Amino acid sequence: MSTQDSTDSSRDATSTDDVRGGTAQRMEIETNGPPPPQLPRVKVRSVPRARVLGLHVLLGVLLLLTLLPIAWLVTGALKLQEDLFAYTFLPEGWRIDRLTFSNIFRLFEEIPFFRVAANSMFVAGATVLIQLFFSSLGGFALAKYEFRGKRPIMILMLMTMMIPAQVMLAPLYQMIHHMGLMDSLAGLIVPSVVSVFGMFLFRQSMMQIPDELLQAGRIDGCSELGLYWNIVMPVSRPMIGAFCLIAFMGNWNSFLWPQIVLHTSDRFTLPIALTQQVGLYEQDYGVLLAGTLLSIVPVVILFLLLQREFISGLTAGAVKG
Amino acid sequence: MWYRFQYRYAPYLFVAPFIISFLIFGFYPIVRSIWLSFHLTAGPETSVFVGLDNYTVLLADTDFHKAVRNTVIFAFFSVFLQLPLSLGLAMLLNSRLILGRAFFRLGFFSPHLLGMVFVAILFAVVFAPRFGLLNVLLSHLGAPIERDWLGTPELVMPALVLTALWLYVGFNMVYFLAALQAVDRDLYDAAKVDGAGPWGQFLHVTLPGIKHVTVFVVVLSTIGSFQLFELPYLMLNNGPGPDQAGLTVVMYLYQNGFVTGDLGYASAIGWVLVLGVMCLAIFQLVLGGTLRRNP
């Protein structure tokens, strides 16, 4: 990515006329191999500057449209009740001094926010950690060992990936009921300890670990479990980051299952508390927006930390497989 | 000796936690839901075998028809409106002439960071009459500011599609962009040598180059949009909305299974959903030629 960016900027600095020259330059930087075979020189229409500018303007407008609701959310959460109706974004003349935390304080009065946020954090954290352990260990076995039953396992799991999970709601509800886990945070964690997606993600990335590395570990007297812990997991760190973020985001936004399982308000997770207790009935939109804003902060922080890994993890399955 | 023993049995030990919990919380519930769908239930405890009754009742259930129609319309727009826009955006961003591509990519992707639930809450307010963002913006173009998007049956589906566009166009763009960047640039030069115009290059270089990702994204979007629940449920005040304009298959499943308490009927709805999604997904995979490559 960085090499591409630098190519772009250097290209722009020189001229935007010769498109083929840019390609040759890119090839050299990216491959480091023998120079690409010379293609016959073709006359390429030059790209007018106006069109380049137009593309940027178009993208800028689209980006603005994308970011508008987010800006509206942030300002709405921090505006006075009367300003929320009077001004679309900031109060007239960018009166930043009219912004307030009053919505946030009202939110804290309406729901036990820190309790609820801690519930969400605990459920998402525990689920992701267990999923990470199970699916990375399983993915390692399926990537690096040959054993009986490997193929049936893979086929079974590929098939279940295409089945909408909602079909399992009724049986899971019965199971959780019989296990006595209704209305408990454990009832949210227990049924979601398996991540088939995670298993495939780890299998795919661990297949690229060279066998020689593992063999060298064995010669040094490392046990198989020691290989997993001392070699495979450290090498897979980017994929671990990607998986944790993707799984955490999914869990943080989990709504249907918690809605079914939880009944007591001090066990609610953020989505349930916000939608059931703050609600739209009272028309107190400022509080609702404040709650939404606070709820997305952890995900945004995690994303900023793990951004690079996230994109590669997301597209790993799609591009290579 | 110990080494050989370990090497032989380690993989079984490693997959065991995953497989055991998968069998309990993945495989068993799927099989169990087939069994449940042949039963009349009241709550989690009581059930009576009724054969195919749940399915025959379901096929004649007009509310279910409505739910299926709404879901199919939404899925249609997800695939045929959202994905072309994602691809278009990705192609714009893939151009070497664009400066700050990483910045644009992050910007377009950012709605996804909010997550489905919080986007639903936010857009319930965006679509509000009088001060909601959309009406305020549209009022500059002369539209009425009092329009109640989520209170008017005909406007509910457009509102849902618009919200999904905002949430997913940038997300799917990331997939297309990754695919486009993997296409060999020399192929474009070769196509130019052969006299192909922009459209010809798109048809003969771009499309074949991103075929696998396209099939992947189409299948994922289809499966995902058939599971539509949170967006309409939360945007429409914990319900199907005016005139059930936002009733979806999963919402109907939820209402029957966990509001009314008929787990058998809910399972039957679930299995109709599974069969529909599986047929569509397999059809798409065959159309995309993906199944032929990996028999």
pLDDT of residue A91: 72
CB within 8 A of A249, min separation 6: which ones? A299, A302, A303, B113, B115
| Nearest residue in chain A measured CA to CA from B290 | A321
Q: In a 3-state reduction of DSSP, which class is residue B40?
A: strand
* Tokens encoding B45: 């405890």
**CATH fold of A108-320, please?**
MetI-like fold (1.10.3720)
> Which chain A residues touch B30 with a CB distance below 8 Å?
160, 163, 167-168, 171
Q: Which of B1, B18, B174, B185 to mutate to test the interface with A (most CBs of A within 10 A)?
A: B18
- The model's pLDDT over A192-202, given as tens digits with 9 standing for 90+, comes to 999 999 999 99
pLDDT of residue A41: 54
- Asked if B187 has any chain A CB less than 8 Å from its own CB, the reply is no
Report the distance separating Cα A134 and Cα A128, nearest Å: 10
> B117, A11: Cβ pair inside 8 Å?
no
CB-CB contact of B138 with B128 (8 Å): no
CB-CB contact of B126 with B132 (8 Å): yes
**Shortest CB distance from B178 goes to which of A193, A289, A315?**
A315
β-strands B39-42, B46-49: how paired?
A: antiparallel
Which residues, numbered 210 to 249 in chain B, qualify as contacts with chain A under a Cβ-Cβ cut-off of 8 Å? Answer: 212-213, 216-217, 223, 226-227, 229-230, 234, 237-238
Shortest CA gap A203–chain B (Å): 12
Which residues, numbered 38 to 67 in chain B, qualify as contacts with chain A under a Cβ-Cβ cut-off of 8 Å? Answer: 44
Residue A70 has pLDDT above 60, yes or no: yes
What is the mean pLDDT of the segment spanning A203-227? 91
> B33, A295: Cβ pair inside 8 Å?
no
In the block, tokens 């509080």 appear at: A287
Report the distance separating Cα A160 and Cα B26, nearest Å: 8
- Domains by residue range for chain B, with CATH: 2-26 (no CATH), 61-293 (1.10.3720.10)
CB-CB contact of B206 with B150 (8 Å): no
**Shortest CB distance from A224 goes to which of B7, B175, B213?**
B7
Least confident of A15-19, A196-200, A230-234, B98-102: A15-19
Of the ranges A59-68, A84-93, A270-279, which is most confident? A59-68
**Per-residue confidence at A257, pLDDT binned at 50, 70, 90?**
very high
Rounded mean pLDDT of chain A?
A: 82
- Asked if B96 has any chain A CB less than 8 Å from its own CB, the reply is yes
User: Domain-by-domain residue ranges, chain A?
Assistant: 63-100, 108-320
> B115, A145: Cβ pair inside 8 Å?
no
- Asked if B32 has any chain A CB less than 8 Å from its own CB, the reply is yes
**Shortest CB distance from B229 goes to which of A140, A256, A300?**
A256
| Nearest residue in chain A measured CA to CA from B129 | A85
**Shortest CB distance from A166 goes to which of B96, B263, B270?**
B270
Residue A164 has pLDDT above 70, yes or no: yes
Q: Which of B12, B22, B41 to mutate to test the interface with A (most CBs of A within 10 A)?
A: B22
Shortest CA gap B143–chain A (Å): 16
Shortest CA gap B20–chain A (Å): 9
Residue count of chain B = 295
pLDDT in tens, chain B (295 residues): 677 778 888 999 999 999 999 999 999 999 999 999 999 988 777 788 988 999 999 999 999 999 999 999 999 999 999 999 999 999 999 888 888 888 999 999 999 999 999 999 999 999 988 888 998 888 888 888 788 999 999 999 999 999 999 999 999 999 999 899 888 888 888 888 888 888 888 988 998 889 989 999 999 999 999 999 999 999 998 999 999 999 999 999 999 999 998 999 999 999 999 999 999 999 998 888 766 654 4
Full 3-state SS string of chain A: CHHHHHHHHHHHHHCCCCHHHHHHHHHHHHHCCCCCCCCCCCCCCCCCHHHHHHHHHHHHHHHHHHHHHHHHHHHHHCCCHHHHHHCCCCCCCCCHHHCCCHHHHHHHHHCCHHHHHHHHHHHHHHHHHHHHHHHHHHHHHHHHCCCCCHHHHHHHHHHHHCCCHHHHHHHHHHHHHHCCCCCCCHHHHHHHCCCHHHHHHHHHHHCCCCHHHHHHHHHCCCCHHHHHHHHHHHHCHHHHHHHHHHHHHHHHCCCHHHHHHCCCHHHCCHHHHHHHHHCCCCCCHHHHHHHHHHHHHHHHHHHHHHHHHHHHHHHHHHHHC
- The model's pLDDT over A95-114, given as tens digits with 9 standing for 90+, comes to 777 788 888 998 898 889 99
> B263, A36: Cβ pair inside 8 Å?
no
Nearest alpha-carbon partner for B82 in B227, B222, B234, B277: B222
* Tokens encoding B261: 């308490």
> A192, B25: Cβ pair inside 8 Å?
yes
Global ipTM: 0.91
> Which chain B residues touch A253 with a CB distance below 8 Å?
115-118, 230
> Which chain B residues touch A228 with a CB distance below 8 Å?
14
> B250, A166: Cβ pair inside 8 Å?
yes
Count of CB pairs separated by less than 8 Å, A with B: 285
Report the distance separating Cα A267 and Cα A185, nearest Å: 7
- Asked if B273 has any chain A CB less than 8 Å from its own CB, the reply is yes
> A153, B179: Cβ pair inside 8 Å?
no
In the block, tokens 């390429």 appear at: A44
pLDDT of residue B198: 86
Percent with pLDDT over 70 in chain A = 81
Q: In a 3-state reduction of DSSP, which class is residue B156?
A: helix
> A167, B271: Cβ pair inside 8 Å?
yes
Percent with pLDDT over 90 in chain A = 52
